Structure 1
């Protein structure tokens, strides 16, 4: 066997090619990261706006339109134990904080199936003429196959739904995945998620809803529907956004 065909030469060429490819991929990842972060932030804003009914998600609004409409929204951070607004730590991200032992709490009555949650939470406030118009709350919980992340928009009474938008889930396409279907989302506005005592009463039911506290379930997706109900009941309870919503109702915030 000639030197050119030696196993060592083949290995050397393979190693060099691997190194070159690794460098190219690393450089590309570094170069693309700012763009990816920008797109991620734009997508977050779009989903908040859709939940609040400020843009039509099916109309594919431009970046300029999204930024213009998001200018109506004030982003705040709430301490869930007190319901008070607080200054967020630098670089705070609620989803990451939920996995950080120094920033999370373990959930005892874990109906949402998420085990832990961040001590702090984002809230988004739509202001019109200087007055609070809509409150948008992030929420999440486990469905059949995945943790489902969404935004719930409420009127200032903290009870009436303005809109709901899921943006990250891996439920079965055509079944549980229909939580992102605009047709299903369109039945949420006007529903009431809390009773007069501020307790969560929202229900996802089989068949047709019979009152303002009920929403039609997803056909063939019972466990996903249960997951939606449990997620909302947890995040609207006194273990999560309950103290904050109580302060809003009382006019203390």
Structure 2
């Protein structure tokens, strides 16, 4: 009996020791790999920004091309570039600013609900990073982060505009969990290509760019503001329309872009 008890004790001790050793190795690996994971995450962010702007260059590294991109912080509450004092007070590093995390912080965001939240994001960060490509002192194109809920997931992406701050250069999502073959077609290059040349705003300056159920009728006088909807994915299509109109509208980048249009690309 004693030997049996000793055997059980030894088994438990060995098992616990093995668990402890494994946990130490896993923790060490997690800590050691974190810089690499962060670097890969940053590289992926840059790739998606360049992709939306049509700036991926074969034979050139992502970091090399991204040197032509200027990261700025916009105060979404005032609709202008954030001041150095505002950036410092908010504890923001433009190069590493995590807008998703900021939206979860009540001190750095505002709560949304009902008709004020068509994109179903619940909270909107007070500040957003945006990305500028310049030609001399003038803005050549601008890339804006957008997100909103589809059918199953929050979709995160970037929209690039020409320096009229109205015409789409490119649009795409880098994170989404919609139904493959249906809402998941937001990742289809052919569908993403349909956005190029479309216009966000009507003559009154209202964000009206939307997905058209059944496809765009070329004879429609408003076709310039419409993109083919996703076949069989009504709720995802509605989600895309909602997030585009929200982020390019009055509660998002609308006032900021309106100022740029009125002042010229400076």
Matched residue, 2:180 = 173
Q: Which segments of 5 or more consecutive residues in structure 2 lack a partner in the other structure? A: 218-222
Matched residue, 2:208 = 201
Give the stretch that moved more between structures: 83-92 or 28-37: 83-92
SS of corresponding position for 2:147 = strand
Q: Which segments of 5 or more consecutive residues in structure 1 lack a partner in the other structure? A: none
Matched residue, 1:143 = 150
* 1:245 paired to 2:245: no
* 1:99 paired to 2:104: yes
Is the contact made by 2:164 and 2:261 (CA closer than 8 Å) also made in structure 1? yes
Describe how 1:66-215 pairs up with structure 2 within 5 A. 66-86=62-82, 87=84, 88=87, 89-91=91-93, 92-108=97-113, 109-210=116-217, 211-215=223-227
SS of corresponding position for 2:107 = coil
CA distance in 2, matches of 1:202, 1:116: 23
Q: List per-residue Cα deviations over 1:158-194 (Å, max 9, x = no partner).
A: 1110100100111111111111111110110000111
CA distance in 2, matches of 1:3, 1:81: 71
| Corresponding pairs, count | 248
Matched residue, 2:220 = none
CA deviation after TM superposition for structure 1 residue 197, in Å = 2.1
What RMSD, in angstroms, separates the aligned Cα atoms of the two structures? 1.6
Is the contact made by 2:209 and 2:245 (CA closer than 8 Å) also made in structure 1? yes
SS of corresponding position for 2:241 = helix
TM-score (norm 2): 0.89
Matched residue, 2:11 = 10
TM-score (norm 1): 0.93
Off by >3 Å, runs of 4+ in structure 1: none
